[in-house]
Amino acid sequence: MTPPTKPARVRFAPSPTGYLHLGGARTALYDYLLAKQSGGSFILRIEDTDQKRYVPEAEANFKNALHWLGLPPDEGPDAGGPHAPYRQSQRKAIYRQHAEQLIESGDAYYCFCSPERLDKIRAEQLANNENTRYDGKCRHLPPGEAARRVANGEEHVIRFKIPQEGTTTAHDFLRGDITVENEVLDDIILIKSDGLAVYHLAAMVDDHLMGITHVIRGSEWLPTFPIHKRIFDAFGWEEPVWVHPSLFLKPDGKGKLSKRDIQKARESGYPIFVNDMPEMGFLPEAVNNWMALIGWSYDDKTEFFTMEDLIEKFSIEKLNPSPAAINFSKLDHFNGLHIRNLEVEDFAERIRPFFEKAGYTVDNAILPKVAAAIQTRTKRLTEVGDMAGFFFEDEVELVTERIVSKKMSAGQAAEAARRLVNLFSAVTEINSDTCEQPLRDMAKEMGLKAGHIFGLLRETLTGQKISPPLFETMDILGKEKTIARLEKAAEELENG
RNA sequence: GGCCCCAUCGUCUAGUGGCCUAGGACGUAGCCCUCUCAAGGCUAAGACCGGGGUUCGACUCCCCGUGGGGUCACCA
């Protein structure tokens, strides 16, 4: 139904200054979906041009996160590809060469102003209630003189030359034309005094050289978007399709996520960093589904999407340009949906490590049955230990006050336990066909409600007040353990 | 503050001039199912930021307010 499109080349280009968070992950997802649905390529590029903010482990963090989410790059630092290297720090010469090309064409110039001078003019502008921007001092330096100073080794940067009059119009796929007065645009630095390019140059050069067809990036780039458009024009390059989805807002909708919010979310059991998600019990399927729907929708009713669905159904046309608050309770909901969508064998393998982490020794013989019993009850994989760990224990701790319900005496409880032992001993298999009616009759004989007997059974067998259905539980536990736990309870009640 | 972007239930959203007494989802409340808890089913409360236009007719188009967000570095 979607019209055939040319294979898209879409890049995810994070800066290794921190870990991959929800916002970046959503961008990566959209990148991946757009690439895959068109039979194109998903490219990972590391934008490590800022040595001061460089975090060494960040790149590995991105890769782990992308791998966990199921978004493997077709090209990138590890995957390689026709446009290697994919780390900008290794492409320094390329940027320099392009910057010099702009100097030649008159679209850029050498600037010898010191950081101190820049600070000073900024302070003055602030004091005069003016907008802060470069004052253009080096703009009109004779090219020969500037070149000579550079040749002499004088410290310098290269700045992009923005016309001082007129306007610039850049076209965003979601928002249409964005026009600004050139006078509000700054002569931004292209090459820093350390010789490395700045984002504005490096990303544009790479996007062109790498044949990127669609640039999907956060809307924090909107203010500099017209400059980027001018850079493409200065080189005479064809622009990619620009898409600026909006940012994520904190859950209450007030402001974008900050460091503090990240910590706060984590404390309340919700992740901001992708790599926190696995241990918090989230499924990558659910995270992708959930993230995709913050800022994108397919129609007025469909919300459950597998990765295959997303690849087929995603479209940048349906992206929503307005800022969106993240809604964690919906993440829980999607996690539940995707857990229930798992094959039970798959679910079993996913919960195994969580039982182990909780200190249980998993019995492979019953794990599939345990999984089946708790699958519809699980929202987060982290819950399984508390919910079903008793299946893997030899005994459960009994609290007589909890076994004896308010409606019965300890003596009655002991009697009930004894009668249950007899009842279960008499059958070859404990299941609802063989035992439910006798159990209900027994309750009536004792003047109790069936619910009281079920409650006693539940506490006795599981040590919990909530558990999977009892006959299913007993089937998994086995006749032997079931009876042993009842006998032990009866004894304790009798001696209690 | 300048510039830019955005504006439908608490939240995510559908809606592209008449299909809208505005649809769905999460959450919330109630009911049903039921051995507990879930799951599932049903129901309820809940929104077009305000004011002007344009039009026979605006949630939808335009303008102005207001509100929210982003951005103003030799960071990305």
Separation of A259 CA and B75 C1' (Å) = 16
User: What pLDDT does residue A70 have?
Assistant: 98
- Residues of chain A (82-111) having a beta carbon less than 7 angstroms from strand B: none
- Measured between alpha carbons, how far is A328 from A98 in angstroms, rounded to an integer? 45
State the pLDDT confidence band at A496, using cuts at 50, 70 and 90: low
User: What pLDDT does residue A58 have?
Assistant: 97
Closest CA relative to residue A88, chosen from A167, A175, A15, A188: A15
Domains of chain A in start order, with CATH, are 91-243 (3.40.50.620), 259-341 (1.10.1160.10), 344-389 (1.10.8), 400-495 (1.10.10.350)
Residue A3 has pLDDT above 70, yes or no: no
Which nt sits closest to A324, CA to C1'? B12
Mean pLDDT of chain A: 95
State the pLDDT confidence band at A495, using cuts at 50, 70 and 90: confident
Task: Return the percentage of chain A with pLDDT > 70, whole number.
Answer: 99
Separation of A254 CA and B46 C1' (Å) = 21
Residue A298 has pLDDT above 90, yes or no: yes
- Residues of chain A (272-311) having a beta carbon less than 7 angstroms from strand B: 293-295, 297, 299-301, 303
Nucleotides on chain B within 7 angstroms of protein Cβ: 1-8, 10-16, 23-27, 35-40, 68-76
User: What pLDDT does residue A1 have?
Assistant: 39
CB A388 within 8 A of CB A374: yes
Cα dist from A304 to A104, A310, A340, whole Å: 54, 9, 12
Separation of A320 CA and B57 C1' (Å) = 28
Q: A318-340 b/e with 16+ CB inside 10 Å = b?
A: ebeeeebebeeeebbbbbbbbbe
- Which residues of A form the catalytic set? 259
Residues A429-486 have pLDDT tens digits of: 999 999 999 999 999 999 999 999 999 999 999 999 999 999 999 999 999 999 999 9
DSSP A306-320: -HHHHHHH--GGGB-
The SS3 of residue A64 is helix
Would the pTM of this model clear 0.80, i.e. be above it?
Answer: yes
Token match 């350390």: residue?
A194
- Residues of chain A (321-340) having a beta carbon less than 7 angstroms from strand B: 321-325, 327, 329-330, 332-333, 336-337, 340
The answer to whether strand B lies under 7 Å from the CB of residue A120 is no
Question: Which ranges constitute the DSSP H helices of A255-343?
Answer: 259-267, 284-292, 307-313, 328-341
Residues A46-97 have pLDDT tens digits of: 999 999 999 999 999 999 999 999 999 999 999 999 999 999 999 999 999 9
Cα dist from A187 to A7, A122, A150, A467, whole Å: 35, 14, 19, 66
Separation of A328 CA and B25 C1' (Å) = 13
Considering only A113-117, A265-269, A299-303, A406-410, which range has the smallest mean pLDDT?
A: A406-410
- Measured between alpha carbons, how far is A307 from A279 in angstroms, rounded to an integer? 21
Q: How many C-alpha atoms does A376 have within 13 Å on its Cβ side?
A: 3
Separation of A282 CA and B60 C1' (Å) = 39
